[in-house]
Amino acid sequence: MKTNKTQIVAACLVAIGLGSSAYASPEQEVNNSIAEANVLTGASSHAVEGLMSNDDLDFYTFDAKAGDVLDLDIDNGVGGTGSIDSVLAIFDDAGNMLRMNAYSDGLDAGSTSIADARIDKFVAPASGRYSVGVSTVPRYFTEGGNVMSFSSRRATAGDYTLNISGITIETTKQINIEVKPGVKEMAPLNPRSKGKVPVAIMGAADFTVADINQDTLTFGSTGGENSLSKCQPQLRDINQDGYVDQLCHFENSDAGFQGGDIEGVLQGSLKDGTNFEGRALLKVVPTSKM
């Protein structure tokens, strides 16, 4: 059974050099293949505590940007149930093994042996999803996250901490929008309508609507719906706050609203790649009243 030592790991983060941006989390079984990998999100660094049994494999996955310089490091013995002779590998989204190592060149702050595997200065070749596999000698990784043993030596079992750092965090700027601008009450919406839904994207001191990449705009129940019809070419100050706004129209039938929905979500990005999101209250007509 996996033991949860999150608080112990968190207390050790400063010592191993990850700092306050790391997110300490326990391993979640089952994660014995790339397809079942634990997903790591929301931080530039991660410390994951795990427990390796004799026939175990552990996988973790995360998103990185092209050019990210990643350090991956195994530390042993948090909680003291044993020490593993670790093998560490990183794979791309297609399962191609990019690097593997079964030792470190020297001891770091969290290691007591060079048997703690480490992969230093891995440069992400493309933006996308990467998976990290943890195994134990003599089970070495091959393509697709498979393993091959080169001796009859029995694999070791015990605790470990996987440290990953250098990940670019995706940030999403929150903005103001108004569905059906000018409607004083909560905007009513019939999901069966074949018309278009006007949405005002509000400018602000730190958000210039002229910089929006209109091809990235999506709007609907979750925000990911490809429902854009068109945006008006003229910008104007719709809410009279001194900043120009952008009015766009979205296909109601493509927005995915259902009876009971209480907000519409707009997503997009600026020309410099900054992602943004806006949410506004609306009132979808219940199915029974259609």
The secondary element (H helix, E strand) that includes residue 170 is none
What pLDDT does residue 145 have?
96
pLDDT single digits (tens) 93-130 = 999 999 999 887 766 766 677 788 999 999 999 988 99
pLDDT for 19 equals 38
Amino acid found at 23:
Y
Q: Which amino acid is at 69?
A: V
53-67 pLDDT per residue, tens: 878 899 999 999 899
Q: What is the pLDDT of residue 12?
A: 39
Whole-angstrom distance, CA of residue 268 vs CA of residue 34: 30
Domain ranges of the chain: 6-165, 172-289
User: In what helix (H) or strand (E) does residue 14 lie, and over which residues does it extend?
Assistant: helix 6-16
Q: Given this model, what pLDDT does residue 187 score?
A: 82
pLDDT of residue 235: 97
- Model pLDDT, residue 9: 37
Residue segments in the chain with a per-residue pLDDT below the cut of 70: 1-24, 77-82, 106-107, 109-111, 154-155, 286-290
What CATH number matches the domain at 172-289, 2.30.29, 2.60.40, 3.40.50, 3.30.200?
2.60.40
One CATH from 3.20.20.140, 3.40.50.300, 3.10.20.30, 2.60.120.380 for 6-165? 2.60.120.380
